[in-house]
Amino acid sequence: MKSHTRVAVIGGGVIGCSVLYHLTKFGWNDVMLIEQSELTSGSTWHAAGGFHTLNADTNMAALQGYTIGLYKEIEEISGQSCGLHHVGGITLAGTPDRMDCLGAERADHRYMGLETHLVTPEEIRELSPITNTDGVLGALYDPLDGHLDPSGTTHAYARAAQKQGAEIVLRNRVLETNPRPDGSWELVTEQGTVIADYVVNAAGLWAREVGEMAGIYLPLHPMEHQYLATDKIDEVVNHGTELPHVMDPEGESYLRQERQGLVIGFYEQECDPWAVDGTPWDFGHELLPDNLDRISDAMAFAFKRFPVLEKAGIKNIINGPFTFAPDGNPLVGPVPGLKNYWSACGVMAGFSQGGGVGLTLAEWMIDGEPSRDVFAMDVSRFGDYCTRSYTRIKVRENYQRRFSVSYPNEELPAARPFHTTPAYGIWKSQNAVFGSAYGMEAVNYFAPEGEDPYEIPSFRRSNAFDTVAGECQAVRTAVGINEIHNFSKFEVTGEGALGWIDIVMAGRMPREGRLTLAPMLSPKGKLFGDFTISNLGDERYQMNASYASQSYHMRWFEDHLPDSGVEVRNISQQRIGFQIAGPSSRELLSRVARGDVSNEAFPFSVSGTCRSARARPLCKGFPIPGTWAMKSMCLPTSRLPSMTR
């Protein structure tokens, strides 16, 4: 084993091997992978091996398409078969909403250059005669769907990487990861010590434990998952060609052919988080005890959907764990707060997403940024708020919702309310409908009196439409208040502050007492953020952007700060704020603020004016707190708390 490497990848599952392959593909050959046992010793060996492009996030869907297209390439380079079966796949729709959802996916797919089609029940029966289409309205057909051999595929990535110069060290557990003053890492392993310029945590089922070695918490949790393989089924044998995959979201199941029988897996409601206190180091080559009771309802549904299953014998039952992040997407990229430490974990669909994860990480590490928008899998989308218990609750919710329709206006209920501002109780008493981002509750709108404070998720105009239109009208003609706690806030101070902001932001920086809008661009010209920058004087600036992106932005700032002369503090949770808007806003401001807020003293201008001012308490019991942060709703004057009317 060499003693120094440019990149050390920890973990030889499908993800670690894909990362290793992509680094070598882009010319970084001084790289190594360290695996505690044999390749595929974690979740990878017991995967069902299915792959597809379906993903609610368009960029993720495109990366899944990339992954599927990659298998031929690694087969050619490595000479190792991936055991590919490109049989196509159908996702059934049993409700009009599901049909809308599949239509939306289809539109995304076309935009991303993926060729999927909507098909009728008759066409479904032609493609998959074993499917009972009673109650089915249609389906999305994806010709790219298929399955493969998980072990062959992982070895194909690994061999291709080795052929391109990578080293793979097996039976060698990483015991410690220690940062060094020059930004490199010392990896203490069973076979000795390695110094690496970069570390990639691709430890899958053990990613939490490996993260702890570097003092970080990665928000992911393993869940148990079961699938069954049947004995030979005559209808399958007699079909002639291999049957396509059938995903039946209403039945929470996915099904495919395996030799002369079928494999069917379930994402059941009664699911179990696994290894809550940590993945044991001696786990790896065994399965978990099966639990058919847990999937009995889903199986009963499957017997109706696929009647051939009822008479089929069960050959084996697989119950294995694999990891999920709270929103089900991978955790990829540089870990905020740590230099040269990267994450490639939390991947719940390694054979649909592994290629995209490897590609993204390698591009990012080598070029400084990935070639497409990958925020949906950026490890920085979660912050400190994401505790162990929050993660576990959200991961369970995500598993249960694996086959639920994802609506564009949907707010998920688990672990809520989590963070709130002191104004939360007031909004709640006004029948607020809340949304949540980055763990923070924020008002989306106010439901009419007597109505449930709930926006019914839909692909069409929801029940909120008329109410929100009324709120907009009220702001247009009078005044409205917006709590802006769900904007992030950064304080920039120091003699070099202005010069530094000028470098990281596009646009002209404001004079003292003024504010401006400024996009933050990457060196390749991509939009990284949309900021409001206030010049508060005395070399002090406040920059506001998206609350949900605070860790993402802070990582960028830390990476681009000079050694001295500038300090950036994330004060998102320390400043509360309200925005008032509309023709009567100055009148409202004059009633609640001390000092002169007339047009002469506090002029309105396109670039904006900013000033520190002390507010009068609005009323008893309405605190203006010193801690907490800001955004969200429009409160029409008629619904303003009485003290501000």
Ligand X SMILES: Cc1cc2nc3c(=O)[nH]c(=O)nc-3n(C[C@H](O)[C@H](O)[C@H](O)COP(=O)(O)OP(=O)(O)OC[C@H]3O[C@@H](n4cnc5c(N)ncnc54)[C@H](O)[C@@H]3O)c2cc1C
Q: Which 98-157 residues touch ligand X, going by CB under 6 A? A: none
Among 7, 8, 9, 14, interactor with ligand X by CB under 6 A: 14
Query: Least distance to ligand X from the beta carbon of 351, Å?
Result: 3
Smallest distance from ligand X to CB 543, Å = 36
Alpha carbons 334 and 343: distance in angstroms, whole number = 6
Residues 212-271 within binding reach of ligand X (CB under 6 A): 225, 227
Whichever of 44 and 570 has its CB closer to ligand X, that residue is 44
> Between residues 222 and 480, which has the closer beta carbon with respect to ligand X?
222
The DSSP H or E segment spanning 555 is: helix 550-560
11 binds ligand X (CB under 6 A): yes
By CB under 6 A, tell whether 44 contacts ligand X: yes
**Applying CB under 6 A, does 15 fall inside the site for ligand X?**
yes
82 binds ligand X (CB under 6 A): no
**Smallest distance, Å, CB 344 to ligand X?**
7
Q: Determine contact, residues 223/396, Cβ cutoff 8 Å.
A: yes
Minimal distance, residue 531 CB to ligand X, in Å: 35
- The one among 244, 251, 326, 350 contacting ligand X by CB under 6 A: 350
The enclosing H or E element of 339 equals none
Distances (CA, A) of 175 to 35, 171, 208, 536: 11, 12, 13, 49
Of residues 102, 160, 308, 348, which one binds ligand X by CB under 6 A? 348
Residue 46 interacting with ligand X (CB under 6 A) = yes
* 273 within 8 A of 394, measured Cβ to Cβ: no
Chain residues 295-324 in contact with ligand X, contact rule CB under 6 A: 318, 320-322
First to last CA, the chain: 73
CA 393, 221, 200: angle at the middle one, nearest 5?
A: 140
In the block, residue with structure tokens 């999920």:
324
Q: Which CB atom, from 206 or from 531, has the smaller least distance to ligand X?
A: 206
CB of 35 to ligand X, least distance (A): 5
Q: Could you tell me the smallest distance in angstroms from the CB atom of residue 426 to ligand X?
A: 44
Out of 7, 8, 9, 10, the only residue in the binding site for ligand X (CB under 6 A) is 10
**Which residues is 557 bridged to in the sheet?**
none
DSSP single-letter state for residue 251 = G
Residue whose C-alpha is closest to residue 255's, from 71, 87, 70, 68: 87
Answer yes or no whether residue 47 interacts with ligand X by CB under 6 A.
Answer: yes
Cβ(205)–Cβ(42) under 8 Å?
yes
Nearer to ligand X, 332 or 447 (CB): 332
CB-based contacts of 517: which residues, under 8 Å, 6+ apart? Answer: 507, 530, 531, 532, 533
Chain positions 588 to 627 lying near ligand X, rule: CB under 6 A, are: none
By the rule CB under 6 A, 210 interacts with ligand X: yes
We find the least distance from the C-beta atom of residue 326 to ligand X, in angstroms, to be 16
Q: Of 12, 219, 333, 355, which one interacts with ligand X (CB under 6 A)?
A: 12
Dist CA 70 CA 76 (whole Å): 10
Q: Which amino acid belongs to residue 50? A: G
Amino acid identity, position 24? T
User: 234: which residues sit within 8 A by CB, 6+ positions away?
Assistant: none
Nearer to ligand X, 213 or 515 (CB): 213
Nearest approach, Cβ of residue 509 and ligand X (Å): 44
- Where would I find the beta strands (DSSP E) of 231-369? 245-248, 253-258, 261-266, 314-324, 331-334, 341-345
Count of residues that bind ligand X according to CB under 6 A: 43
* CA-to-CA dists, residue 16 to 41, 60, 81, 382, 458, angstroms: 12, 19, 19, 22, 38
Please choose, out of 107-115, 303-311, 346-354, 555-563, the segment that lies near ligand X by the rule CB under 6 A. 346-354
Q: Binding pattern to ligand X, positions 161-200, x when CB under 6 A?
A: ------------xx--------------------------
Got the DSSP string for 129-140?
Answer: TT---TT--EEE
Peptide bond into 417 cis (omega under 30): yes
Residues at the site binding ligand X, with contacts judged by CB under 6 A: 10-16, 34-37, 41-44, 46-51, 173-174, 202-206, 210, 225, 227, 284, 318, 320-322, 345, 347-352
